[in-house]
Amino acid sequence: MSAYVRFRVADEAYAVPVAHVLEVAGLGQVTPVPGSRAEILGVRNLRGKILPVIDLAALLGTRRAGPPGRLLVTESGGRQAGLAIDEVTEVGELADLADEAEFALLLGTLLEDGTLIGVLDVPAVFDALAGPP
Amino acid sequence: MTEPDAELLELFHDETIQRLDDMDAALLAAESGQVTPDTINELFRHAHTIKGAAGILGFSDIAALAHAAEDILAVARARGTFSPDLAAPLLRATAALRARAEGAAEPFDGPLAELAACLAAIQSAEAGAGGAAGKPGTGQAPAPGAAGETRADGQPGADGQPGADGQPGADGQPGADGEPGADGEPGADGETGAAEGAGAAEGAQGGTTAPEGGAGSWAAREGTGRAASLPQPRPAPGPAPGAPPVPAVVAPPGDAHPGHPPAGSPPPPHRPGAGRRSVRVPAEKIDHLLDLVGEVMQDRRRLAHALGAAGALPPDAADELSAGERMLGELKDSAVGMRTLPVAMITGPLPRAVRDVARSVGREVEFSVTGAETELDRVILEGLAEPLTHLLRNAVIHGIEPPQEREQSGKPARGRIELRAVPRGGLVEIAVADDGRGVTPEILEEARREGSLADVLSRAGFSTASEVTDLAGRGVGLDAVKAHVHSLGGRFEVSSEPGRGTTVSLLLPVALALLKVLLVRRGAAVFGLPIAGVEEVVTVDATSTLQGLAALDLRGRSVPVADLAAIIGATAPPLPGRPPALVVTAGGRWLAAACDALHGEEEVVVKPLGPLLAGASGYLGAAILGDGRIALLVEPGALIRGYRQAVPRRPPAGGLPGVAHPPGAAAPAGHPAPAGHAPPGGPAPAASAGHAAPDGDAPPAGPAAPAKILVVEDSFIVRELQRCVLESAGHQVVTARDGREALGILAADHEIGLVVTDLEMPVLGGLELTRAIRADPARPGVPVVMVTSRGSEEDRRRGMDAGVDVYIDKQGFQQSALLATIAELTGR
């Protein structure tokens, strides 16, 4: 059992280890950065710091009905980024991962009360975006 | 402000003391048998770094002693063992260095002789194992005489310069004044024993050993009454400190030691640094302070603006405001001052470099540095050493004529090259000026047609040397220097007069973190362009079109006009009528970028966009404006590149002075690909139709497209050089500064068909990179070419073991050899 922040992107359920989460914030005003990858919505000013905002739905290949509502500010290896999500559903413990990840960006998946939850691999998400577009 | 020399010395002093502290701790541990390979490595690195820094500052004796210590540690490192016996002599050496740093002036003969004996001992012990114990003692036997002799003959070089023959040191002999050790070598062990704990113990156990003669010289001597100081490094023999900079004569006959302190020159009577202590502060703390100051300034500007808008202020309040503004200005200056260092920091090795190049090509050159006290951001300064060396090299090789030729044209046989640093507002101009042949009238004419001389000369591959002597032709290197200056938000200029000389100027921001920018609005976004990079601002009213592209007439020059949003790939509503436009120039091309409105000039705090946005090139960073909004800071050169990429794709629709940009396509390219070269993934119709790009630099005819090559190299000059060579052969090139960055790029970009890498790089070296590539099942058989200056057979073998396909020696690096190798490896 470990602690996770659970959240929703489109109608899919995901979780991320709390160790990677700095805070949950509003989406704020996001300034697009022309020339960046399509999965990066832009940058926002988070208390004087420039924070890149990742369009998690685009990165995970899910389809979202409306604009994202919340920002999950995450950190890994000194890199920080906001993950644009729809909403945080819960913070709490989750059972151990049931399966090995079949997806590049997931640590694994698990089933809880009939809901499939994907556990996000934050360093992998950052790595996937770090190269040239 | 204090004089720069004092600041430099303080920095060196502090760093050296810190390193000596670390060395002592490690040596004491080693003496009691606690030693790991890491310890030896660390010791070696400290000695090596002290040697390097001392050498740059002209403390040749300190460098020599550190070098002697390094030699011993190198042997220990190679063997992986450190005999506890080695600790004592090394501790004596560090004590001698420390005493010098604290102000003592004794020569290092004693410690030098001891270390030399010690080195000989461990080297001779190499064959006969086990006999190392006690060797240092016996090895020192001949030393007393030697040490005594050197000191007796008047301490050749009070600066202890080994081999400084012909430099009479008798005059002045600074160490001689009433210092106990200077006159009594034989009995020195007794005296110093009383003064210094550890040293005394060594002396007692050593009994008859020689170094004790020198021991008197390394005893710390606080309280002898002389101001504690480091020896004053003088770039040239010359007048008293504080006098205007003296030209450092480079190759006058008979001056064999330019840049070395004159032997026996008396210590300055008063040192401003005496007794002053400095505090070591992590750079991030200073950056944070600077950030805050910048933000407070912006905040204040907003407040003043709001108050001004509210109506007339009471006179008192207005006075308070402007007083606060002044104080804030001072606060900013001192915060910036903490990050800046004098240009002198990097000019030390230049006279020698100029002399060496001049000798190798048969030129006579007098080199001088002025304005060395001018301060620049530490990071900018560090990145400048290499480009400056390159510019000076150019000036010697391509600028200065051979002596006979100069005399025939009525010039003195000896050419002059001046490096000068001049503060210009918020910028610093660094110029390299020569009185050589200058460029030809034809080139000047071309420059007049094309825009600027800087553009013509820095066009990739351009060289003024009729015979290309080596790869560092003037053009290729200038292109790299210019790109570097632009990436710092600076400006690059060249002026030349045929027959009279050439001046290359770099205009650089004083502080990297603060940049004066012109803020403009386009659509909902605000962009900032460095003031230094904007030629002028115009209003676009009458435009004509050529081939469907809009252009405006700027004093007789036809300058293309495009929508800023279209150039960088942003989405924005149509431009208003008569929009303002920023005129920029790069690579011989001019461009007017039209926007909605100008927001004026502001000094902003530059914040990096961070690693996740590294793929979006063309930005210097971002700034947070007074209202909390973010302005992206655009590198002017990127606008030209973006325009050149955008134009061939689609002509503008309608009468709008703009260029339609395909949605989703990458906007400003990271590198100036040759015109007509299809950008990666770009939807250029010509490329998708399977033909080579239609115009211009089409790759050489062949069945397949040229390879995409990753160049991994930490030296930016070499990196840019290789990029130019490969791009001019039609290859697409991506660059990385070290192995780790390279692996990141390889993971993201699967089109890379070949890797050209250096061997020695920070973070992750070439061998490790090659092994990582070979270990990755996703990319079997990507050819790896290693280009390096370390061409020993052993290195070659290690390279091959790691999986390197071809090994090319940097010394004999030939453009054609590299290209031929690549053609072979890629089967094209």
For B782-821, the DSSP string reads: --EEEEES---HHHHHHHHHHT-SEEEESTT--HHHHHHH
Q: Six-digit token pair at B504?
A: 């290359």
B404: Cβ–Cβ under 8 A, 6 or more apart, which residues?
B413
Nearest-by-Cβ selection for A129 from B607, B612, B618? B612
CA dist A91 and B259 (Å) reads: 66
Task: Fill in the amino acid letter for B546.
Answer: L
Q: What residues of A are in contact with residue B630 (Cβ under 8 Å)?
A: 31, 43-45, 50
Residue-level pLDDT at B326? 85
Residue-level pLDDT at B518? 92
- Collapsing DSSP to helix, strand or coil, B746 comes out as helix
Q: Six-digit token pair at B635?
A: 């590198």
Nearest-by-Cβ selection for B570 from A32, A37, A133? A32
CA dist B399 and B394 (Å) reads: 7
CATH of region A2-130, choose from 1.20.1250.20, 2.40.50.180, 3.40.1010.10, 2.40.50.100: 2.40.50.180
Q: Six-digit token pair at B285?
A: 């703390």
Half-sphere exposure in the Cβ direction for A114 (13 Å, CA): 0
Q: What angle do CA B160, B161, B164 make, to 5 degrees?
A: 125
Q: What residues of B are in contact with residue A44 (Cβ under 8 Å)?
A: 630
Class at the top of the CATH hierarchy for domain B695-826: alpha beta
Answer whether B618 touches A (CB < 8 Å).
yes
A96: Cβ–Cβ under 8 A, 6 or more apart, which residues?
A1, A2, A110
CA dist B120 and B305 (Å) reads: 74
Residue B708 near residue B734 (C-beta atoms within 8 A): yes
How many CB atoms sit inside 10 A of residue A10's CB?
Answer: 15
Q: What residues of A are in contact with residue B295 (Cβ under 8 Å)?
A: 48
Q: What residues of A are in contact with residue B748 (Cβ under 8 Å)?
A: 128, 130-132
Half-sphere exposure in the Cβ direction for A53 (13 Å, CA): 23
Smallest Cα–Cα separation from B184: which of B172, B197, B175, B171?
B175
Task: Fill in the amino acid letter for B593.
Answer: A
The residues facing B461 across adjacent strands are: none
Q: Across the interface, do A45 and B619 touch by the CB < 8 Å criterion?
A: no
Smallest Cα–Cα separation from B397: which of B497, B482, B500, B467?
B467
Residue-level pLDDT at B419? 95
Q: Which helix (H) or strand (E) holds B714?
A: none
Residue B181 near residue B192 (C-beta atoms within 8 A): yes
B726: Cβ–Cβ under 8 A, 6 or more apart, which residues?
B709, B711, B733, B756, B818, B819, B822
Asked whether the predicted pLDDT for residue A74 surpasses 90, the reply is yes
CA dist B290 and B153 (Å) reads: 54
CA dist A107 and B658 (Å) reads: 46
Sign of the torsion angle spanned by Cα atoms B326, B328, B333, B337: positive
ipTM over 0.85: yes
Q: Six-digit token pair at B27?
A: 């040596």
Q: Six-digit token pair at B664?
A: 């989703």
- Collapsing DSSP to helix, strand or coil, B604 comes out as strand
Nearest-by-Cβ selection for B615 from A54, A79, A131? A131
Nearest-by-Cβ selection for A130 from B608, B609, B744? B744
Length of chain B (residues): 828
- Collapsing DSSP to helix, strand or coil, B485 comes out as helix
Phi, psi angles (nearest 5°) of residue B185: -50, -50
CA dist A35 and B669 (Å) reads: 8
Phi, psi angles (nearest 5°) of residue B586: -165, 145
Residues 161-180 of B with CB under 8 A from A: none
Nearest-by-Cβ selection for A34 from B291, B570, B614? B570
The residues facing A110 across adjacent strands are: A117
Which chain A residue shows the shortest CA-CA distance from B605?
Answer: A48
Nearest-by-Cβ selection for B610 from A29, A37, A79? A79
* DSSP at A3: E
Q: What residues of B are in contact with residue A84 (Cβ under 8 Å)?
A: none
CA dist B186 and B190 (Å) reads: 9
Q: What residues of B are in contact with residue A79 (Cβ under 8 Å)?
A: 610-612
Sign of the torsion angle spanned by Cα atoms B552, B555, B558, B559: negative
Residue burial B372-394, b: 16+ Cβ < 10 Å; e: rest: bbbbbbbbbbebbbbbbbbbbbb
pLDDT digits (tens, 9 = 90+) for A91-123: 888 877 766 666 778 888 888 888 888 999 999
Residue-level pLDDT at B207? 36
Residue-level pLDDT at B146? 37
Which chain A residue shows the shortest CA-CA distance from B667?
Answer: A35
Domain B4-218 fold is: Four Helix Bundle (Hemerythrin (Met), subunit A) (1.20.120)
β-pairing, A79-85 vs A49-55, is parallel
A23: Cβ–Cβ under 8 A, 6 or more apart, which residues?
A73
Return the biggest CA–CA distance within chain A: 42
Phi, psi angles (nearest 5°) of residue B23: -65, -45
Q: Across the interface, do B610 and A50 touch by the CB < 8 Å criterion?
A: yes
Smallest Cα–Cα separation from B602: which of B518, B711, B503?
B518
B435: Cβ–Cβ under 8 A, 6 or more apart, which residues?
B400, B411, B415, B416, B417, B500, B501
* Residues belonging to chain A with any Cβ–Cβ distance to chain B shorter than 8 Å: 29, 31-38, 40, 43-45, 48-50, 52, 54, 79-81, 126-133
β-pairing, B501-509 vs B491-497, is antiparallel
CATH of region B516-646, choose from 3.30.950.10, 3.40.718.10, 2.40.50.180, 1.20.1090.10: 2.40.50.180
Residue among B284, B297, B527, B612 with most chain A CBs within 10 A, to mutate: B612
β-pairing, B732-736 vs B708-712, is parallel
Q: Across the interface, do B616 and A36 touch by the CB < 8 Å criterion?
A: yes
CA A91 from centre of chain? 14
Task: Fill in the amino acid letter for B367.
Answer: F
CA dist A65 and B266 (Å) reads: 81
CA dist A113 and B3 (Å) reads: 73
Which chain B residue shows the shortest CA-CA distance from A44?
Answer: B630
Answer whether B748 touches A (CB < 8 Å).
yes
Task: Fill in the amino acid letter for B570.
Answer: A
- Collapsing DSSP to helix, strand or coil, B617 comes out as coil
Locate tokens 């919505």: which residue?
A: A41
CA dist B69 and B62 (Å) reads: 11
Q: CA dihedral defined by B768, B769, B772, B776, rounded to 10 degrees?
A: -170
Task: Fill in the amino acid letter for B810.
Answer: K
Q: What residues of A are in contact with residue B679 (Cβ under 8 Å)?
A: none
Residue ranges for chain B with pLDDT beneath 50: 1-4, 129-274, 460-461, 463-476, 648-704, 811-813
pLDDT digits (tens, 9 = 90+) for A5-61: 999 998 899 999 999 999 999 998 999 999 888 899 999 998 878 999 999 999 988
Which chain B residue shows the shortest CA-CA distance from A132?
Answer: B615
Residue burial B722-757, b: 16+ Cβ < 10 Å; e: rest: bbbbbbebbbbbbbbbbbbbbbbbbebbeebbbbbb
Residue B290 near residue B378 (C-beta atoms within 8 A): no
Locate tokens 């990739």: which residue?
A: B460
CA dist B757 and A113 (Å) reads: 53
Q: Six-digit token pair at B134?
A: 């006690």
Residue B716 near residue B681 (C-beta atoms within 8 A): no
β-pairing, A12-17 vs A115-120, is parallel
Answer whether B612 touches A (CB < 8 Å).
yes
B600: Cβ–Cβ under 8 A, 6 or more apart, which residues?
B518, B519
Q: Across the interface, do A133 and B616 touch by the CB < 8 Å criterion?
A: yes
Q: In CATH terms, is domain B343-509 a member of 3.30.565.10?
A: yes
Q: What residues of B are in contact with residue A83 (Cβ under 8 Å)?
A: none
Task: Fill in the amino acid letter for B208.
Answer: T
Cα Rg, chain B, nearest whole Å: 31
Residue among A29, A30, A33 with most chain B CBs within 10 A, to mutate: A33
Query: In whole angstroms, how far apart are CA B255 and each of A58, B207, B248, B262, B397?
Result: 69, 43, 11, 11, 22
CA dist B810 and A29 (Å) reads: 50
* DSSP at B132: T
* DSSP at B266: P
Residue among A30, A36, A59 with most chain B CBs within 10 A, to mutate: A36
